[in-house]
Amino acid sequence: MKTIDQLLAEGVAGKRVFVRADLNVPLDGTTITDDGRIRAVVPTVAALAEAGARVVVASHLGRPKGAPDPAFSLAPAAARLGELLGADVAFATDTVGESARATVAGLTDGQVAVLENLRFNPGETSKDDAERDAFADELAALADLYVGDGFGAVHRKHASVWDLPGKLPHAAGYLIATEVEVLRKLTEDVQRPYTVVLGGAKVSDKLGVIDHLLQKADRILIGGGMAYTFLKTQGHEVGISLLQEDQVGACETYLRQARERGVELVLPVDVLVAPEFPDLKTKAPANPAVVAADAIPADQEGLDIGPKTRELFASKIADSATVFWNGPMGVFEHPDFAEGTQAVAQALVDSPAFSVVGGGDSAAAVRILGFDEKAFGHISTGGGASLEYLEGKTLPGLAALED
C-alpha cells in the first residue's frame, strides 16, 4: 500500500488531489457535537496543502436517500475543517455538478475545497456496478490523484471508496495508515493478556467479532444492552431490558466455546435498572436502582452495569497488556447511567495496557465524558470498519489502495 509520504516525495504541487475523508460527524441541527473525525483527517489535508496540492475533500454524512437533503449537508463540516486548518475552505454545493466543477477549477496551489455529501448522488452507494462506476468516473474527472483517508467508510463498497481508487494513482493517508498499524497489533503480534470489552445495544451487531475474538482474546467482558441476551441465556429474568430472543442460541454457543477454549467470558454481576427508558433530552432524573444481575424485576429495564461490575471489569482491565473496547456499558448519554461507561474508560486510562477505543459510540463517549484522548493508545474513527477488520474480513477501501 503506497503511503502519502511516498506521494508527497514524488511531488503534488499543482495537482488536484481527491481525499476521501470521513466527515460523518454527529449534528444537532447545524452544530457539530463531536468533531473527532474532522480532526483526524487534518494531518493528511494539511500536508497536501502545504506541499502545494489543490485538495478536494469528499465524504458522506448520515443516510440521505440518494438525493440532496439539507439536514445532511456537509457545510458545517467544511466550515469546521477550515477552522482547524486555519485557512479558508471552499464548499461545492453539489458532488459532481456545476458547483463542484467550478469550485475545483477555482482552486490554486495549496487551497482546499469540500464537495457536498457524496450520498446525495445515488451512484455513491448503488449496488449496480455500472451506476456506481459512472459516478466514480465523474469524481475522477475532478482529480489527478487519490488519497484514501476515510477509515470509517473502508468497509463499504461505495463509488468513492472502492471504484474511484482504481481510476487514479492512489495512496493511503496518515489516518488509514495509523488505523491499520493499530489493528494489526490486535490481530497479529498481540501482547497478552488480551482483554476485549464489548458493549452496545445488540448481540447481532457483534456476532462476527465475538466468534473471531474467541480465537484471539484471553478474556471478553460483555456489557451494554447485549449483556441481557447473555443473561437470559443463563436462565435469568431480564425484565423489560433490551433482549434479542433470536440470539439466545448464539449466546449459548459462545458461552460453551469460551469454556472449551479457556477464554474468560465475563458478564455483569449487578446492573442499574429503572421502570422505563430515560429522557435523553431533558435528562430528568430516572431514579435508578441497583440489583443483582440474576434478580432483575420483571417490570424494570437494565440500563447500565452496576458498581460491583464496574469494579470487576476494572480489575480485569488492570492486569491486561492489550485492551480493545467497542460499545458503551449503558445509556451513557444520561447522567444516571453514564458511570459504567465512565468506569471502563477510566480503567483503560489507569491501565498500562495498549488500549484501543473502537470508534462509534465508544469514541463519542470518551469525548462526551471529558477524557483526554491522549490518555488512550488509540481512538479509532471507524466502529464498523474496526469490527470487520477484527473479524478478518477484507475491507473494500483497503483492498482498493493496495498496489
Write out the catalytic residue numbers: 37, 202, 360, 384
> Annotation-wise, does 361 bind a ligand?
yes
129 is annotated as contributing to ligand binding: no
- Residue 37 assigned ligand-binding role: yes
> 206 a known binding residue?
yes
- Residue 200, annotated ligand binder? no
Q: Is 359 one of the annotated binding-site residues?
A: yes
62 marked as binding residue: yes
Q: Are the C-beta atoms of residues 265 and 291 closer than 8 Å to each other?
A: no
Angle formed by the axes of helices 307-318 and 339-350, nearest 10°: 20
392 marked among binding-site residues:
no
Structural contact between residues 111 and 92, judged by C-beta atoms closer than 8 angstroms: no
Q: Which alpha helices (H) appear in 170-306, and where do they start and end?
A: 174-185, 207-213, 227-233, 248-261
**Annotated binding residue 24:** yes
Contacts (Cβ under 8 Å, ≥6 apart) of 345 = 325, 357, 365, 366, 369, 371
The response to whether 22 counts as a known ligand-binding position is yes
- Residue 148 phi/psi, 5-degree rounding, is -90, 120
Q: Tell me whether residue 60 is annotated as binding.
A: yes
Question: And the C-alpha cell for 291?
Answer: 440489583
The most distant pair of C-alpha atoms in the chain lies apart, rounded to whole Å, by: 67
**Could you give the CA distance from residue 343 to residue 56 in angstroms, rounded to a whole number?**
41
Query: At residue 73, what are phi and psi to the nearest 5 degrees?
Result: -70, 145
Print burial letters for 331-347: b (CB count within 10 Å at least 16), e (below 16): bbbbebbbbbbbbbbbb
Is 362 labelled a binding residue?
A: yes
Backbone phi, psi, residue 304, to 5°:
-170, 160
Ligand-binding annotation for 142, yes or no, is no
Known binding-site residues for ATP equal 206, 302, 333, 359-362
Known binding-site residues equal 22-24, 37, 60-63, 119, 156, 206, 302, 333, 359-362
Known binding-site residues for substrate equal 22-24, 37, 60-63, 119, 156
